[in-house]
Amino acid sequence: MPIFQYTAMDSSGKEKKGRMEAANEQAVNSALKEQGMFPTTIKEDKAAAAKKGTRAAPGAGPQGGKKSMMNFGLSLGAAKMKSKDLTTVTRQIAILLDAGLPLVRSLRTLEKQAKNPAVKKVMKDSADAVEGGATFSEALSQHPKTFDKLYLNMIRAGEAAGAMEVILDRLAKFMEKAQKLAGKIKAAMIYPMVVLTIALMITSGLMIFIVPKFEKIFAELLEGEKLPPLTQFVIGISNIMQKHFIESAIVIAILVVIYVLVGKTKKGRYLIDWVKYRAPLFGPIISKSSIGRFSRTLGTLMSSGVPVLNALQIVRDTSGNEVVANGIQKVHDAVKEGEGMAPPLAATKIFPDMVISMIEVGEETGKLPDMLEKIAETYDEEVDNAVEVLTSMIEPIMIIFLAVVVGTIVIALFMPLIAIINKLGG
C-alpha cells in the first residue's frame, strides 16, 4: 500500500506531521478524524513507497482499488466551474438539503438541471463518488480547480458538525458578498480603462499621422530655424513611434515579461503587492477590501467550527495579497505560541486600531466570529463608499489628463506656426 505524508491539527490546535500507510487519501483522512485530528494536507510519499517497494496497486484493499481508479478518473477529467456558477450551485444544494433531500439526490437533481457542461460534470462526479462511499468533501476534493481550501475545509467542518445545509448557506452568503464587492470594484475600473484606451488611440493617431506632416511644413517654411523645445520634444517622440515602432514594442514586451517573472517570485509578489497597498487612490480600496476579506473569511471559518490555527492558514493562502499573507503568517505563529490575535495583528502595521480593538474585545468576550463579521460588514460599506468616491474623482482626473496630453501636442504644433505667420507677415 502507498505511504502518505499528512499535516493535521489536534484538539488543542497544535500542528502535527507524520506518515501513514493506507489504501488511499480518503483512508488517511478517515483514520486521522477517528484519532480526533483535523487534516489540512495529505500527500502521497512516492519516494518512501519506492524504497519500501510497495507502490499503490490498482487492487490494493477491498475498496482501495475501486476508489483509487475512481479518483484517478476524476482527476483526469477535472472540470472548472466559474465562481458565479459555484455560488449558485452552493446556494441550490443548501436549499435542497434544508428541504430534506438526501445529498446524492440533491446532486443528481442539479446534474439533470445543469446546462453548463462543467457544472454537469462536477455534479455527476461528486454524486458518483458519494454513492461509492466517499464523503462529500472527499468527492469535491477531486476538483481542486473549482473547490479551494476554504471551501473544502468548511465542508469538512459541516460534515463533522452534522450541519451541512448551514455551512453551505454560509458559504453561499460569503461568495455572494465577495462577488458583489469584486463586481463593484471592476465596474469602477471600466470607465478609466475605456478613457485611457481612447486617449492612447487619439494620441497615437496624432503622433503617427498628424505630427509628421507638421514637421515637413516647419522644415519647408522655417528653412532650418530652430524649433521651440516643446515642439522638438513632441516631434522626437513622433519619430520614435514611426521609425522605431518594432523596437518600442519589443521593449514594452520585455518589461511586461520582467514584471510577470518578478511577480512569480515571493519577494517580487511582496514588492508588487506593497506598491499596490500604498498606491494613491487605489491603495485605500485594496487595503479596506483586504481587511474585509480577512475578517469575513476568518469569521466564517471559525463560526463553522474550523480550529483557529487551521483557519488562519486558510485565510493566509486565500488572502490574494502577499503583504497581508505575510502579516497573517506572523499572527499564526504568535497564536501557535499561545498569544492572542490582537497584539501580533497590531505589530503587522496593516490593520487599523479600530479593527485591533474590536478583535481584542471579541477575544475577551468569546465572540470573536461575531465581531469579525461586524468588522467585515463595516469594511464592505467603507469599500463601497471608497469606490463611489473614486468613481466621482476619476472623471475629472481623466478629463484633465486628456486635456494635458492633447493640449501639449496642439501647443507644440502651434508655437512654430506663430513664427511662420509672423515671418510671412513681415
Which long-range CB contacts under 8 A does 112-120 form with residues at least 24 apart?
116/81, 116/85, 117/79, 118/79, 118/80, 118/81, 118/82, 118/85, 118/146, 119/81, 119/85, 119/89
Q: What percent of the chain has pLDDT over 70?
A: 89
Per-residue confidence at 95, pLDDT binned at 50, 70, 90? very high
Average pLDDT score over residue span 3-17: 73
Three-state DSSP state, 271: helix
Count the neighbouring beta carbons within 10 Å of the beta carbon of residue 137. 21
State the helix-helix crossing angle for 83-98 and 164-205, rounded to 10 degrees: 160
Average pLDDT score over residue span 26-40: 73
Average pLDDT score over residue span 223-233: 84
* pLDDT, mean over the chain: 81
State the helix-helix crossing angle for 149-161 and 164-205, rounded to 10 degrees: 170
pLDDT single digits (tens) 124-173: 999 998 988 888 988 898 888 888 877 888 888 788 777 788 888 888 88
Q: Using an 8 Å Cβ cutoff, are 321 and 286 in contact?
A: yes
Q: Using an 8 Å Cβ cutoff, are 357 and 367 in contact?
A: no
Least confident segment among 45-49, 83-87, 89-93, 348-352: 45-49
What gap in Å lies between CA 257 and CA 246, rounded to an integer? 16
Residue 39 above 80 pLDDT?
Answer: no
Residue 71 above 60 pLDDT?
Answer: no
What gap in Å lies between CA 31 and CA 95, rounded to an integer? 31
What gap in Å lies between CA 315 and CA 309, rounded to an integer? 10
Q: Using an 8 Å Cβ cutoff, are 29 and 71 in contact?
A: no
Query: Which domains does the chain possess?
Result: 3-74 (no CATH), 77-147 (1.20.81.30), 170-426 (1.20.81.30)
**Strands of 15-21's sheet, edge to edge?**
15-21, 3-9, 38-44
Three-state DSSP state, 40: strand
- Which distant-in-sequence residues (6+ apart) come within 8 Å of 400 by Cβ? none
Q: What percent of the chain has pLDDT over 90?
A: 11
The CA radius of gyration of the chain, in Å to the nearest whole number, is 30
Looking at residue 107, what is its pLDDT? 92
Residue 56 above 70 pLDDT?
Answer: no
Average pLDDT score over residue span 49-74: 43
Three-state DSSP state, 251: helix
pLDDT single digits (tens) 285-326: 888 888 888 888 888 888 878 888 888 888 888 787 888 888
Residue 181 above 50 pLDDT?
Answer: yes
Per-residue confidence at 258, pLDDT binned at 50, 70, 90? very high
Decide which of 214 and 281 is more confident. 214
Looking at residue 92, what is its pLDDT? 92
Three-state DSSP state, 222: coil
In terms of Cβ atoms closer than 10 Å to its own Cβ (0-12, 13-18, 19+), residue 151 is: buried
Residue 254 above 90 pLDDT?
Answer: yes
Looking at residue 59, what is its pLDDT? 39
Looking at residue 120, what is its pLDDT? 92
Which long-range CB contacts under 8 A does 120-123 form with residues at least 24 apart?
121/77, 121/79, 122/79, 122/81, 122/89, 122/146, 123/89
Among candidate residues 211, 252, 204, 264, the one with its CA nearest the CA of residue 233? 211
Looking at residue 11, what is its pLDDT? 59
> Given CA atoms 38, 44, 49, 51 in this order, what sign does their dihedral have?
negative
Residue with cell 511577480: 263
